Amino acid sequence: MSPRSQPALSPPGVLFAVLGLASLLAPYMTLAANRIVAGEGVPAWSLGSPGTSLGGLAALIGGLALGLPAGRPALRLGGAFIGFAGLVWLLVAGTSSLLGEAGEFARVSPGAGFWCLLVVLSLLLADALTNLSPGPLTRLGVLLTALAALAAVLTSGALADLSIMQEYASRAASFWDAGVRHLWLAFGSLGAAALIGFPLGILSHRSDRLQRSLLPVLSFLQTIPSLAMFGIMIPILAWVAATVPGAREMGVAGIGFMPAFLALVLYSLLPVVANTVAGLDATPPAAFEAARGMGMTELQRLLRVELPLGLPVILAGLRIVLVQNIGLAVIAGLIGGGGFGTFVFQGLNQTATDLILLGALPTVLLALVSAIVMDILVELSSPQSGSQR
């Protein structure tokens, strides 16, 4: 396509601009008399003084406008960051303005307009990065920069009066305890599944008979609904704790951490085993024959040829497991397993939306960051990564 025939506007940029402007028509923040009643929506142009609101709106509209030109992904990237700055600007201005005129127990929260704009700007950022095609290390640098900026905003106290931050302030210790428990559930079950699944995958690769019998069983476990799987673990582990000497002292119980952990391990086995088999199957026959011709033993061929060549596929399976388990670990809160799901279900019981978000938002962020980091590791492990920066 010649330069003259290229569109002047980026179709995704136009879509994001339209969606962003439509989001500005929705309430940007909500003001409620207390933490459990429904709030009243406030549009973005009514937050703070006219000058303050116009500054944030200008940043948002300007950021969306920078996403319009075609063939300028760097400009779209800058527009996304300008838009994020506008989002924070309006939140800070709106919080202080709305609370200044409300009662003692009043709460302010981000509204539908804010969340929609956050999604639109995130898509604009993702589109810009896709078109720029940065290398894995560059993407890691962008991720670390974004996390540092988020941490700076949250620790600065600028958003301390938001309802969700007040929920956090009253539960700071339990929040971090829940975070540690969530990490243990997600990453611990991943590690246990890897220890079990890698040998099973290697054996299944060597034995078609084992593969034909094992993979259907693991596939069946994946079809069991997560809540049902957690429920099945309760009577089984309760019986083990009551009948096996020393089991209760080791932490085995019908409710709590152990049934949630074991359920996540069972869910994790299929992706680990299947991707290990697929990764080993991906070894080119020429490489395999060359290794055999060099006199390598079967173990040497596995460690030096098959596993290194199949590592990207194996890591892709671990990525699936990690993101899946981070989400499923929320349900552990229903059976006393801890994690961020504790706040989600407490919020549902109290009809407190911001308490629900206190558990949901860290889960989403953790899953997103884990997916990006695993994607980077997959790309670094591929044979073509040496040519990328």
pLDDT at 136 exceeding the cut of 80 = yes
For residue range 17-71, list pLDDT tens digits in order: 999 999 999 999 888 877 777 778 888 888 877 777 888 899 999 999 999 998 8
For residue range 295-352, list pLDDT tens digits in order: 787 788 888 888 888 899 999 999 999 999 999 999 888 888 889 999 999 988 888 8
Q: What is the dihedral of CA 31, 33, 35, 41, to 10 degrees?
A: -20
For residue range 342-379, list pLDDT tens digits in order: 999 998 888 888 899 999 999 999 999 999 999 999 99
3-class SS letters over the chain: CCHHHCCCECHHHHHHHHHHHHHCCCCCEEEECCCCCCCEEECHHHCCCHHHHHHHHHHHHHHHHCCCECCCHHHHHHHHHHHHHHHHHHHHHHHHHHHHCCCCCCEEEECHHHHHHHHHHHHHHHHHHHHHCCCHHHHHHHHHHHHHHHHHHHHCCCCCCCHHHHHHHCCHHHHHHHHHHHHHHHHHHHHHHHHHHHHHHHHHHHCHHHHHHHHHHHHHHHHCCHHHHHHHHHHHHHHHHHHCCCCCCCCCCCCCHHHHHHHHHHHHHHHHHHHHHHHHHCCCHHHHHHHHHCCCCHHHHHHHHHHHHHHHHHHHHHHHHHHHHHHHHHHHHHHCCCCCHHHHHHHHHHCCHHHHHHHHHHHHHHHHHHHHHHHHHHHHHCHHHHHCC
For residue range 264-305, list pLDDT tens digits in order: 999 999 999 999 999 888 877 787 778 777 878 778 888 888
For residues 168-183, give the mean pLDDT. 92
Assign 123 a pLDDT band (cuts: 50, 70, 90): very high
Higher pLDDT, residue 147 or 100: 147
For residues 175-191, give the mean pLDDT. 94
Per-range mean pLDDT, top range of 92-106, 147-161, 178-192, 332-346? 178-192
Higher pLDDT, residue 250 or 219: 219
pLDDT at 3 exceeding the cut of 80 = no
CB 350, CB 36: distance < 8 Å: yes
The alpha carbon of 290 is separated from its chain's Cα centroid by a whole number of angstroms, namely 41
pLDDT at 5 exceeding the cut of 70 = no
- Residue 148: the pLDDT is 94
Would you state the structure tokens that stand for residue 326, as one six-digit string? 């981070």
For residue range 72-91, list pLDDT tens digits in order: 889 999 999 999 999 999 99
- Domains of the chain by start residue, with CATH: 3-133 (1.20.140), 172-387 (1.10.3720.10)
For residues 204-232, give the mean pLDDT. 88
Computed over every residue of the chain, the mean pLDDT equals 87
Assign 385 a pLDDT band (cuts: 50, 70, 90): low
3-class SS letters over 280-298: HHCCCHHHHHHHHHCCCCH
- Residue 306 CA to residue 278 CA, distance in Å, equals 11
Question: ∠ CA(381), CA(383), CA(387), 5° rounding?
Answer: 100
- Residue 186: the pLDDT is 94
> Which of 85, 108, 113 is CA-nearest to residue 24?
113
Higher pLDDT, residue 128 or 251: 128
Q: What is the dihedral of CA 276, 277, 281, 282, to 10 degrees?
A: -30
Residue in the block written with tokens 């509209």: 61
- Residue 215 CA to residue 220 CA, distance in Å, equals 9
- β-pair type (40-42, 107-110): unpaired
pLDDT at 4 exceeding the cut of 60 = no
- Residue 387: the pLDDT is 47
pLDDT at 1 exceeding the cut of 50 = no
